[in-house]
Amino acid sequence: MKNIKKIVFRLASGAAFCSLLSLAACNDSLEETPKDFLSPDNAYSTEQGALQGVTALHDRVRAAFYTFGEFGTMNWQSHGSDVAYLGETPDRSLLYLNSYLDITPVARYVVDTWTMGFKIIQWATLVVDKVEKVEASKFKDGQAGKDVYLAEARFFRAFVYRYLVSTYGDIPIITTPVTSAKADFTRDPVAAVHEQMVADFKFAAEHLPAHGREAAPGRITKGPALHYLAEVYLEQKKPDLAITTLNEVINNQGYDLMTQRFGTRLARDIFGSGDAYYDLFGYRNQNLPENKEAMWVIQTEPNMPQGGAQIATAYIFGPRYFDIGLTPDGFQAFLGATFNGAHTGYSDIFSRGTANVRGTNLVYYNIWKDNWNEDQRNAKHNIVRDFYYDNPKSAYHGKKVDFSLYKPARPNPMLDTTKNWFPVHTKFLDPENYFLQPNRSGGGITHKDWYALRFAETLLLRAEAHLAAGDKASALADINRVRSRSKAKPATLAQIDIDYLLDERVRELYGEEWRLVTLRRTGKLLERTLKYNDNPLCKGANMKPHNVLWPIPQAQIDLNIDAPFAQNPEY
């Protein structure tokens, strides 16, 4: 997966298909029979072509959902929920979901999420359609080899439908490539979309390789397909099926929680201590054979001409500490690292954050209250809570930043705690491994491979299924299995309910899980957003009941001239 070639999809993305928003503008006037160049008609006629098609899907999903490029979907894992808001400018709403009062059918994130989602679905469907027509004899492993590519493409189609159906509700189901103008789409019911997802995830689970037998790091295996299949069963109110499916993942696929220290951080703990949870997020640790917790890892190697890319975790989740300004006695508060003989103003530990995602008090304080010192996920090497002045000319050099020391008071104390400094989860940082922009300590860009799915999430999903089935004791066992890895106090049966489980997901998966999807699935998005989203300018994100679903992009409705395409209520 680290030598990605993108030629096929760059050639195919023009006349072959369009995103749903622009299908009405497409035409089928180009009816060529290519013989000496790649096209959608001949690009997948070999195993190498099938590999390139699947590789392009990996690249597209990575770019759309796990980076800050395109439309910054990594933010939407958290914004508009109980766990985070935009800290840099808490009242800003044009590009970020701080207030649901500003969500409209023409908002950028509404339009781009729909457009990119259906573009990926189109690409996956095209790969399935073309590879299905290739003779099995052209694959090294015959029909079994062919089925692996089909399974991976169908996995991605279902995975993107997972996000879109959660976000918009009823949406079109596309299972054959759209190759010409089409203006009569209809909205299929959520139940039908879920059935299509079940079919795709089932096929994927049946034909994908087992954990450890994938062709390259990052390739999809049976475990993730089973995990997301179980998640759909929960959406369908079938907890017993979900439990059976998750039992297969947990008991028979070779995964486990990492409980002993491992990998590249063993000999160089930047923060002076560490544990197995901390090691999970060390550079190059995600793909190590001994890492039994990794189920699906997004590959983000640096310095590669094709297929490398990057993850903007330090940028998105880090505070703008470099904007603190002066010390209480009037000197520059932070000098930072040196580059070309001069101080940069940036830290090689914290890189360059922009407070795009500022956690709520739930994330930084509330969920740790009864385990503050015991739970290793709250230890100083996993959450950094203190920042220190760094200027020898100041009497405050080496002392903890304290905004109450300023006389007169600082001009905007709100931004001091929403933008300039707030606790930082070190999973988003990568000290000593910022390879780009040395003048800005990496510019917020990290090159750690990123977990799309860890085994801990599968255990917590099974706990959710047990709760839905009325078996609190089994849910407790799964939750405590996760908690015990971090030495947290065991939860009790009296504590266990869906809110406790959702809190545990924050402790374990903050910044990894797709929080909006989780909260919609459990029916808790509105309640918990109103209760815990403490954006000082948009309490509860100004959420109303109809905001659980986003609006359909207006252009989709306008372009669909040959069939009704209803808007979601109250938009």
50-93 tens-digit pLDDT:
999 999 999 999 888 887 766 556 556 789 999 999 999 998 76
| Cβ partners under 8 Å of residue 351, min gap 6 | 314, 315, 318, 429, 430, 434, 440, 441, 442, 443, 444, 445, 446
Taken as a whole, the chain contains a residue count of 571
pLDDT attached to residue 521: 98
Tell me whether strands 342-343 and 84-85 are parallel, antiparallel or unpaired: unpaired
Q: What are phi and psi of 552, to 5 degrees?
A: -75, 135
Residue 331 placed within a domain: yes
Average pLDDT for residues 417-433, to the nearest whole number? 95
Of 489 and 6, more confident: 489
Average pLDDT for residues 519-533, to the nearest whole number? 98
- For residue range 428-472, what is the model confidence (pLDDT) as tens digits? 999 999 988 999 999 999 999 999 999 999 999 999 999 999 999
Q: Which range has the worst mean pLDDT, 100-104, 157-161, 524-528?
A: 100-104
- Is residue 414 over pLDDT 70? yes
Residue 108 placed within a domain: no
pTM value is 0.93
- For residue range 190-223, what is the model confidence (pLDDT) as tens digits? 999 999 999 999 999 999 999 999 999 999 999 9
Average pLDDT for residues 500-512, to the nearest whole number? 97
Please, is 154 exposed, middle or buried when counting C-beta atoms within 10 Å of its C-beta (0-12, 13-18, 19+)? buried
Residue 556 placed within a domain: no
Location of structure tokens 């059918």: 105
pLDDT attached to residue 307: 55
Residue 51 placed within a domain: no
With H, G, I as helix, E, B as strand and everything else as coil, classify residue 64: helix
Average pLDDT for residues 532-552, to the nearest whole number? 97
Percent of the chain with pLDDT over 70: 90
Half-sphere exposure for 172 (CA within 13 Å, toward CB): 29
Q: Please, which pLDDT band fits residue 11 given cuts at 50, 70 and 90? A: very low
Residue 358 placed within a domain: yes
| Cβ partners under 8 Å of residue 532, min gap 6 | 82, 83, 360, 361, 362, 366
Q: Which helix (H) or strand (E) holds 58?
A: helix 47-65
Residue 83 placed within a domain: no
> What is the rounded CA–CA span in Å between residue 542 and residue 6?
42
- Is residue 37 over pLDDT 60? no
- For residue range 363-396, what is the model confidence (pLDDT) as tens digits? 999 999 999 999 999 999 999 999 999 999 999 9
Structural domain of residue 419, as residue ranges?
313-446
pLDDT attached to residue 92: 72
Neighbours of 161 (CB within 10 A): 25
Residue 453 placed within a domain: no
Strand partners of residue 347: 351
pLDDT attached to residue 28: 38
Q: Which helix (H) or strand (E) holds 269?
A: none
- Is residue 13 over pLDDT 60? no
Structural domains in the chain (count): 1
Q: What are phi and psi of 370, to 5 degrees?
A: -95, 5
Residue 245 placed within a domain: no
